[in-house]
Chain A
Amino acid sequence: MQDKNRPIRVLVAKPGLDGHDRGAKVIARALRDAGMEVIYTGIRQSPQMITQAANQEDVDVIGMSILSGAHLEILPEIMSLLHDEGMDDVIVVVGGIIPEVDRQPLKDIGIAEVFGPGTTTTAIVEYIEQSVKDRAEA
């Protein structure tokens, strides 16, 4: 995060027990093609594993995909662990099957953006590039 010229580093993670990783893998590859450094965790990651990986890899962004409906239980735990580790500056985005009514509560706990089904990878790439730039200037 010190070197402004380094590529954006992103952790793509599958929290919980959900094994549907088509979306996560496609996003990981699209971010890589856009010049970012992407670490994909594989499936079935606990909040502790995700926080630890994000810390060790010194990422700018964590992108998580959840399709099992466990987002309201799992994501607050991850946000709180990130806070405890002093990682509030990491931009956290989420995708998957997230009902409209749950979006605001997720933003309230510090999730930067929720991407629903049908979002293009181009839109996600642009969002991440812009957010990392904004954060560096802030």
Chain B
Amino acid sequence: MPSSDKEQWKQETLDPAVKRFPERRENFQTDSGLDIAPLYNPEDLNAQGLDYDNDLGYPGEFPYTRGVQPNTYRGRVWTMRQYSGYGTAAETNERFRYLLDNGQTGLSIAFDLPTQIGYDSDHLLANGEVGKVGVPICSLEDMETLFDQIPMDKVSTSMTINATASVLLCFYIVAARKQGVSMEQISGTVQNDILKEYIARGTYAYPPRPSMRLVVDLFKYCHDNVPKWNTISISGYHMREAGATAVQELAFTFSNAIAYVQAALDAGLKIDDFGPRLSFFFVAQNNLFEEVAKFRAARRMWARIMKDRFGAKDPRSMMLRFHTQTAGVSLTAQQPDNNLIRCTIQALSAILGGSQSLHVNSRDEALALPSEESVQLSLRTQQILAFESGAADVVDPLGGSYYVESLTNELEAKALDYIQQIDDMGGSVEGIEQGFQMREIGDAAYKHGQEVESGDRTIVGVNRFTTEEVPIEGLLRVNEEAAKIQIGRLEKLRNGRDDGKVKASLERLEQVAKTNDNTVPAILECVESYCTLGEISQVFRGVFGEQDGSLSF
């Protein structure tokens, strides 16, 4: 007689089997600590009250759980966008052109740390950091070099830039103009998500509240002038990399998103004027099904937040569009080729989850910036997934899986509880000022570390299945001359420009910064006069103050 329900099956079929052959572990859990039952069936979805029309619906329709595009990748596959930048603008320009020649479909600029924090390459604190984790861009001239022979009306460009986002966008706008490309034509994204910098990534420059104003200034300016630009990429990625669970990644990303939306509304913008330009950025971690569920839950959560909480009317405001990157933190220095496999599984979760764009990490990145060969393998991983695996040929392939639907519901419910907790504190900025998100993430990171050390969590090649390590060959080393070349260029720029114009435009920027007027037009004027990033940021440091490094503790 077949079992009539799950309980009967458990008692009569499962338990006797487990009694004879005990399971591998006492408790099975996802990476976020959600308990995993041995089996899921319609009973689980009924118990959770899943309603197909309300909770899943059809792709391209509210609540977008199954996708924001009606046919997802059947029209066009995701944008393959490998993040890169190092050395100098000229060297990075070569890497960009190499990637475009190899079939990459969008650019993604990695800036070095001084550029991200608002210091010129010759600043004292920039010592040792110039060109290391990204490309140094100190002025309009550097941006022109970076895009030499790359048609700025054809490529879309993502810039991982936050504290100094509006300055780098202005460099980009003017560099495009010099190519004969207007502000209406350019397309791309600035990360512009300063809140997660305080929580996890650390490239803030000014205190949170004036930084929020700069974020909103950029929203406003782009709405009026740069219609195809995504004005923010609200990022869970870095918080997850710092140790957050999938639940925390969802919750903290959306509580930050809520803070940006509220700030924009408070500044007089209308929800449907900027809603469609908000984009997101998540990680793809190792736990395949939990990650797919996370992406699906994220779409549903955002649609409901925008519609129910903020009263959005335009469906485009409710559609969660996101970029995904595989998990840097999961890469191991031991047996580095294993990382290729990890990256492939992670990338698959992003595709099954319906990501709009993807970066796949490279096998050597626990050791150095990736070599050209490694990056090509990452791109090939994407192309194999897109054109050989069949994963891109149907919409939301795991929709209807009892397990994945159940996880989707559970992640959403737990993340909503967290968001409520942050709302009760007064919102994300207040949470940050109290160090709430940082503590929660720190606790999760420590727990993860302890699990790896105790062997409770397996990392192949690190705490199990270890072998004698062979040093990896061909690691990328940033040219040691790069910083000198960059500093030389900067000196030449400073000597060759009109000092009167520089001084006047910086003074005007200072005046504007002290009022409530939009800072972007004044930054544009500075950029046109060849003011440097450091000079512009120094004006803001003077007016807004500097955020020191103690906040992240």
Interface residues in chain A, defined as those with a beta carbon under 8 Å from any beta carbon in chain B = 14, 16-22, 25-26, 29-30, 40-46, 68-74, 77, 97, 99-100, 116-118, 120-122
- Residues on A with beta carbons closer than 8 Å to the beta carbon of B202: 18-21, 43-44
- Residues on A with beta carbons closer than 8 Å to the beta carbon of B201: 19-20
Chain B contacts with A in 453-487, Cβ cutoff 8 A:
453, 459, 462, 471, 475, 477-478
* In contact, A69 and B133 (Cβ under 8 angstroms): yes
* In contact, B549 and A45 (Cβ under 8 angstroms): yes
* In contact, B550 and A73 (Cβ under 8 angstroms): no
* In contact, A16 and B129 (Cβ under 8 angstroms): yes
What's the least CB distance linking B259 to chain A, in Å?
Answer: 20
* In contact, B128 and A26 (Cβ under 8 angstroms): no
Query: Does B21 touch A at the CB level, under 8 Å?
Result: no
CA of A20 to CA of B372 in the docked complex: distance in angstroms?
A: 24
| With contact pairs A25-B445, A99-B475 given, residues A122 and B453 touching in the complex (Cβ less than 8 Å) | yes
Tell me the dominant secondary structure on chain B's binding face.
loop
| With contact pairs A16-B128, A17-B114, A121-B449 given, residues A22 and B549 touching in the complex (Cβ less than 8 Å) | no
Query: Does B404 touch A at the CB level, under 8 Å?
Result: no
Chain B contacts with A in 314-367, Cβ cutoff 8 A:
329, 332-334, 366-367
Query: Does B150 touch A at the CB level, under 8 Å?
Result: no
* In contact, A22 and B129 (Cβ under 8 angstroms): no
Q: Nearest CB to that of B131 among chain A residues?
A: A69
Looking at A21, A46, A122, the one whose CB has the most chain B CB atoms below 10 A away is: A21
Q: Indicate which residue in A18, A70, A99 contacts B368 across the interface (CB closer than 8 Å).
A: A99
- Residues on A with beta carbons closer than 8 Å to the beta carbon of B119: 17
- Residues on A with beta carbons closer than 8 Å to the beta carbon of B203: 17, 19
Looking at B200, B449, B462, B477, the one whose CB has the most chain A CB atoms below 10 A away is: B449
CA of A94 to CA of B33 in the docked complex: distance in angstroms?
A: 32
- Residues on B with beta carbons closer than 8 Å to the beta carbon of A69: 128, 132-133, 368-369, 478
Query: Does B52 touch A at the CB level, under 8 Å?
Result: no
* In contact, A22 and B329 (Cβ under 8 angstroms): yes
CA of A74 to CA of B367 in the docked complex: distance in angstroms?
A: 19
Q: Indicate which residue in B126, B367, B453, B551 contacts A99 across the interface (CB closer than 8 Å).
A: B367
* In contact, A97 and B129 (Cβ under 8 angstroms): no
* In contact, A17 and B113 (Cβ under 8 angstroms): yes
* In contact, A26 and B117 (Cβ under 8 angstroms): no
- Residues on B with beta carbons closer than 8 Å to the beta carbon of A19: 197, 200-203, 552
Interface residues in chain B, defined as those with a beta carbon under 8 Å from any beta carbon in chain A = 113-114, 116-117, 119, 124-129, 132-133, 197, 200-203, 241-243, 329, 332-334, 366-369, 442, 445-446, 449, 453, 459, 462, 471, 475, 477-478, 548-553
Q: Nearest CB to that of A98 among chain B residues?
A: B367
* In contact, A26 and B446 (Cβ under 8 angstroms): yes
* In contact, B125 and A46 (Cβ under 8 angstroms): yes
Q: Indicate which residue in B200, B242, B366 contacts A117 across the interface (CB closer than 8 Å).
A: B366
Q: Indicate which residue in A29, A42, A72, A73 contacts B552 across the interface (CB closer than 8 Å).
A: A42
Looking at B132, B203, B332, B369, the one whose CB has the most chain A CB atoms below 10 A away is: B132
CA of A25 to CA of B477 in the docked complex: distance in angstroms?
A: 28
* In contact, A74 and B368 (Cβ under 8 angstroms): no
- Residues on A with beta carbons closer than 8 Å to the beta carbon of B116: 17
CA of A120 to CA of B553 in the docked complex: distance in angstroms?
A: 22
Q: Indicate which residue in A20, A43, A72, A120 contacts B549 across the interface (CB closer than 8 Å).
A: A43
* In contact, A74 and B449 (Cβ under 8 angstroms): no
| With contact pairs A17-B114, A99-B368, A100-B471 given, residues A42 and B333 touching in the complex (Cβ less than 8 Å) | no
CA of A119 to CA of B156 in the docked complex: distance in angstroms?
A: 40
* In contact, B129 and A70 (Cβ under 8 angstroms): yes
Looking at A14, A77, A117, A121, the one whose CB has the most chain B CB atoms below 10 A away is: A117
* In contact, A68 and B445 (Cβ under 8 angstroms): no
Q: Indicate which residue in A43, A68, A97, A100 contacts B366 across the interface (CB closer than 8 Å).
A: A97
* In contact, B550 and A42 (Cβ under 8 angstroms): yes
* In contact, B449 and A70 (Cβ under 8 angstroms): no
CA of A12 to CA of B36 in the docked complex: distance in angstroms?
A: 38
What's the least CB distance linking A68 to chain B, in Å?
Answer: 5
* In contact, A121 and B549 (Cβ under 8 angstroms): no
Q: Nearest CB to that of A46 among chain B residues?
A: B125
- Residues on A with beta carbons closer than 8 Å to the beta carbon of B367: 97, 99, 117
- Residues on A with beta carbons closer than 8 Å to the beta carbon of B125: 17, 44, 46
CA of A16 to CA of B12 in the docked complex: distance in angstroms?
A: 62
* In contact, A14 and B549 (Cβ under 8 angstroms): yes
18 A-B contact pairs sorted by A residue (CB < 8 Å) = A14-B549, A17-B117, A17-B129, A18-B129, A19-B552, A21-B242, A25-B446, A26-B445, A29-B442, A30-B449, A42-B552, A45-B549, A46-B124, A73-B127, A73-B129, A97-B368, A99-B368, A118-B459
What's the least CB distance linking A92 to chain B, in Å?
Answer: 17
- Residues on A with beta carbons closer than 8 Å to the beta carbon of B550: 42
* In contact, A29 and B478 (Cβ under 8 angstroms): no
What's the least CB distance linking B490 to chain A, in Å?
Answer: 17
- List the 4 closest pairs (A to B, CB-CB), nearest first: A19-B202, A73-B128, A70-B128, A44-B549
What's the least CB distance linking A21 to chain B, in Å?
Answer: 6
